[in-house]
Amino acid sequence: MGDESLELRVKVALEASPSGPLKAKQLARTLGIPSEEFRAFRDLLRRMERDGTVYRVKGQRYSLPRKIGLTVGTLSIARSEDGFVTPDDGSLDVFIPVTLLDSAMHGDQVVARIEARPRGRNPEGRIIKILKRAHPTVVGTYRSAGRFGYVSPLDHRIPRNVLIPDGEEGGARTGDIVVARITAYGSSKLNPLGQVERVLGPITEPGVDVLSILFGYGLDLEFPEDVEQAAREVVAKKEKEGWEERVDRTDLHVFTIDPSDARDHDDALSIEATGDRLWEVGIHIADVSHFVEPGSLLDLEALRRGTSVYLVDRVVPMLPHVLSSDLCSLRPDVDRGAVSLFVTLDASGRARGHRFERTRIRSRHRLDYDQVQRVLAGESQVDSRTDQDLRTLAELARALRERRSRRGSLDFDLPEARVILGSEGAPVDILEVVQLESHRLVEDLMLLANETVARESERKRLPIPYRVHEPPPSNRMEDLRRSLKTIGYSLPNRRITVKDLQKVLRAVSGKPEANLVSTMILRSMARAHYYPRNLGHFGLGASSYTHFTSPIRRYPDLLVHRVVSRALFHGGDIPDDWGGESLARAAERSTLREQLAADAERDSVALKKAEFMEKHLGEEFQGTVSGIMTFGVFVLLDEYFVEGLVHVNALTDDFYQLREAEHALVGERTGRRFRLGDPIRVQVSRVDRLERKIDFVPSPQITNSSV
């Protein structure tokens, strides 16, 4: 019997125990563990204790944490420096006052003892044990203080300075950004101790700012040498291996569509007419699983990283460059191995059939989104065949989009920023990324591929990580209903469906409050994640969904390829250890790494926005009110896609309060209003690059149509 099954039996036994916590030998007798297996059983209990699954109390007795008033979960630190423990079992967060955090830091896996349950509020407790540290290192600003130094973490969620003993500063000078390894975590009364292990340099030095984010999130730009060596060996061994087993599709007119600066090309497209108003669309995905074998050094490193991370000035790849941007990449004019999905579509976007092939393809063109957009607009051309293929694919993509819309798929079109960097890495412009028809073309076809693979996997009961998005909790929908009502939009007084949300999004499209409403709806919903069972995808209105189209840069896609290739091309049974607890752990880790990557990418853009605005301190800009809060108004500049805050303290002509019913900030004496979409002229008053904050004040010549 495996450890996973035995763990479950341990939990059941402890749950059912009428006498409370049990000693290891009592548990062994209850479960019928032979004496010769007791040592291994005791080791299992210790592993479960380290994971927080069980807790050991006085007398060397074991219990389930919740049966003795304990909560196991992840600690989050707020700006107030108090904390909240988010339980692993999904129960209510536990509030932890700053004085009861002990030495725990943001992100730590902890055990909290609940000490009070105030009516109408979250339970309150204290940290009694730290299971897993989230921060072996911190990134911060080093300062000398005589016989010792200290590092002030850049992450405000780590509010305590790390003390650096004399001689452990590693050559750092006051003001340098450094990476410090924590050698002792201290206590509620003692600061942590550490040693500087890397000096990044002054924050004003080119590249240091992004490096601070990279090291702050624990991202490894370089691969270990043994992983690089493993990649080189794979290239030498497998570059042409198995060509004879592949279907030769080098005659197909295949092309890639990516950002102009993309280095990895893991998907390509083709299209051929097959009959009256029927087309066979080929969606060709790099055959990464051919090179990355289960349990290999490359596989373990890819799992550890989880995803490629796209910072503002560099990419931190999931796989070594010899694979990610060369051998696996579907570069033009070279033969590459692919897993190809061919879907027959009619003019309405309905799939009439599909098939999978393990192929050998050759891309004809490396196209970028702007280039394709010009072709679709009739402003440019590649060649007659490619131009026609692009136009036909665009028509089919629109039909697919319309079919998804009819079933209730939500279409969030929130704007994003693109930072233009100069030769020294400094930002020279901030632009809004416009969603082009060329972007939608690729997105629609990738969604088609992901859904098709998910349905096929479910039909064949293949163990894959599904991309799931559960329906939003009813309490969040009630909060959303109330919030939308304050700005003039309504949801029905019944169970909210995806089509109800879709209706609101259509109603606000093109209006000043569109971004606000989209953000409100997004925040009310559960977060999409990877899971070993199919729970559907609420936001897409899809019964089955997975990620299949980016195995170069996402680990779940690599897992899906591995299973699909084994089941469909090799005809072999799927090994037991590809599913079960192993799949669940991989799905959970992939979700965590995806969120970390998103946070790092967002912070790198925010940092460059702040650096850009440093050069404009004191200057005035025309802007638009983009958000209303009790503490002020957010303003989006018209000239640059940069948002900053006008704090209420900067509105010195009156005392302003938020009127939720009007969704406006209103002056008590003057009645002056700041509303979404109002024009406003502001002056850049303060920029903090490390905090990634931009503050505005109203221009002396401010005019507001609402006054």
pLDDT at 701: 59
SS (H, E, C) 557-618: HHHHHHHHHHHHHCCCCCCHHHCHHHHHHHHHHHHHHHHHHHHHHHHHHHHHHHHHHHCCCC
Sign of the CA dihedral running 294, 295, 297, 303: positive
Domain boundaries, the chain: 3-66, 69-132, 137-202, 225-467+542-601, 471-525, 616-698
- Classify 520 as helix, strand or coil: helix
Largest CA distance in the chain: 85
Q: How far apart are CA 446 and CA 441, in angstroms?
A: 9
HSE-up of residue 106 (Cα within 13 Å, Cβ side) = 19
In this structure, how many other beta carbons lie within 10 angstroms of the beta carbon of residue 420? 11
State the DSSP code for 66: G
Q: How far apart are CA 608 and CA 208, in angstroms?
A: 12
Domain 3-66 of CATH type 1.10.10.10: yes
The CATH number of the structural domain formed by 137-202 is 2.40.50.700
Instruction: Give Cα 207 distance to the centre of its chain.
Output: 23
Phi then psi dihedrals of residue 504, to 5 deg: -65, -45
Going from the first residue of the chain to its last (707 residues), give the mean pLDDT of each consecutive group of 10, the final group possibly shorter. 73 86 90 90 89 87 88 88 86 89 91 88 90 91 90 90 94 94 90 94 88 91 94 89 89 95 92 92 96 95 96 93 92 95 96 95 96 96 96 97 91 82 86 88 97 96 95 84 81 86 87 80 88 94 95 97 91 84 92 93 92 94 88 90 92 88 85 87 92 90 44
Q: How far apart are CA 696 and CA 557, in angstroms?
A: 43
State the Rg of the chain over Cα.
28
Phi then psi dihedrals of residue 96, to 5 deg: -125, 110
Domain 69-132 of CATH type 2.40.50.140: yes
CA–CA distance from 49 to each of 52, 55, 63, 129 (Å)?
A: 5, 6, 10, 11
Residue 701 burial by Cβ neighbours in a 10 Å radius (0-12, 13-18, 19+): exposed
Give the global pTM.
0.86
Q: How far apart are CA 53 and CA 72, in angstroms?
A: 8
First-to-last alpha carbon distance for the chain, in angstroms, is 75
Instruction: Give Cα 583 distance to the centre of its chain.
Output: 19
Residue 505 burial by Cβ neighbours in a 10 Å radius (0-12, 13-18, 19+): middle
Q: Which residues neighbour 582 within 8 Å (Cβ) at sequence distance 6 or greater? A: none
- Comparing CA positions, the residue from 106, 103, 122, 105 lying closest to residue 114 is 122
Q: How far apart are CA 578 and CA 581, in angstroms?
A: 9
3-66 and 69-132: same fold? no
pLDDT at 266: 93
Class of domain 616-698: mainly beta
- Comparing CA positions, the residue from 508, 52, 554 lying closest to residue 264 is 554
